[in-house]
């Protein structure tokens, strides 16, 4: 027996060939096909395939059987001892999908185009030379050591007085 685990609308469903599942509302008319590419696990008899995170080359085709609304859900909010009570209700819409046979998808091979080698222009060569000379000049300036001692500003006058 073939079955799969799929991810649809942020939830995971176990699907078998010929089975139907109830999912959140899908836009589309009854009878239209819905393709699902997020196959997480596939079991075909003894052969088991676990996706990492998805099974490559597999997709499922589901057909919309019907649309509907679930039973009413009551949302009741309150804060004790404060007299605050809010009651709200809603009905979630759903779609029933029926799955046929599981199909293989042909892998699309991505073709990488080789970049053409562009010869450098004269402007690029000149700017590269300027950068190299600027780097050399700054490194030379950093390597020079000044022979004068470094004296804090406020103490320079005191030192002069002591020398006299």
Which ranges of the chain does DSSP label H, i.e. alpha helix?
122-143, 156-163
Give yes or no for residue 147 having a pLDDT over 90: no
Total domains in the chain come to 1
- Within a domain: 99: yes
- Within a domain: 125: no
Q: Which domain holds residue 14?
A: 2-74+84-104
- Within a domain: 117: no
Question: What is the rounded CA–CA span in Å between residue 74 and residue 7?
Answer: 28
- In the predicted model, what is the mean pLDDT of residues 74-97? 97
Beta bridge partners of 84: 79
Mean per-residue pLDDT over the chain, rounded: 81
- Within a domain: 52: yes
Q: Give pLDDT tens digits for 102-136.
A: 766 555 555 566 666 666 666 666 666 666 666 66
- In the predicted model, what is the mean pLDDT of residues 52-65? 90
């Amino acid at each position: 027996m073939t079955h799969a685990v799929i991810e649809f609308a942020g939830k995971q469903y176990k699907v078998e060939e010929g089975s139907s599942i109830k999912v959140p509302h899908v836009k589309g008319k009854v009878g239209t096909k819905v393709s699902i590419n997020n196959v997480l696990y596939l079991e075909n008899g003894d052969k088991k395939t676990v996706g990492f995170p998805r099974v490559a080359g597999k997709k499922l085709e589901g057909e919309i059987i019907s649309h509907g609304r679930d039973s009413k859900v009551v949302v009741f909010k309150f804060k004790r001892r404060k007299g605050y009570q809010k009651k709200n209700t809603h009905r979630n819409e759903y779609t029933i999908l029926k799955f046929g046979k599981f199909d293989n998808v042909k892998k699309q091979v991505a073709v990488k185009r080789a970049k053409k080698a562009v010869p450098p222009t004269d402007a690029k060569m000149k700017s590269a030379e300027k950068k190299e000379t600027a780097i050399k000049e700054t490194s030379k300036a950093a390597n020079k050591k000044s022979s004068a001692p470094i004296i804090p500003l406020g103490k320079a006058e005191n030192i002069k007085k002591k020398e006299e």
